[in-house]
Amino acid sequence: MTLPYEEYLAEILIDEETLQKRIRELGQQISKDYEGVDDLLLVCILRGGVVFLTDLMRQITVPHEIDFLAVSSYGKGVREASGRVRIDHDLMSEATGKHVLIIEDIIDSGYTLRFVMDVMMARRPASLKLCTLLDKPSRRTIHIPIDYVGFTIEDKFVFGYGLDLDDKYRNLPFVGVVRLDALPQH
Ligand code: IMP
Ligand code: MG
* Distance from the alpha carbon of residue 35 to the mean position of ligand 2, in angstroms: 30
Whether residue 123 has a cis bond before it, omega within 30° of 0:
no
36 Cα to the center of ligand 1, angstroms: 33
What confidence score (pLDDT) does residue 153 get? 98
Give backbone dihedrals phi and psi of 184, rounded to 5 degrees, phi first.
Answer: -55, -40
For the chain, how long is the longest CA-to-CA vector?
51
What is the whole-number distance in angstroms between the Cα of residue 174 and the centre of ligand 1?
16
Q: What is the pLDDT of residue 80?
A: 53
Set 108, 135, 164, 181: catalytic member: 108
pLDDT of residue 3: 62
Nearest bound ligand to the CA of residue 165:
1
pLDDT confidence of residue 159: 97
- Give the pLDDT score at 76: 54
Based on the residue annotation, tell me whether 55 is a catalytic residue of this protein: no
Instruction: Identify the segments of the chain with pLDDT beneath 50.
Output: 186
Residue with the smallest CA separation from ligand 1 atom 15 is 108
pTM score: 0.93
Taking the CA of 166 as reference, the closest ligand is 1
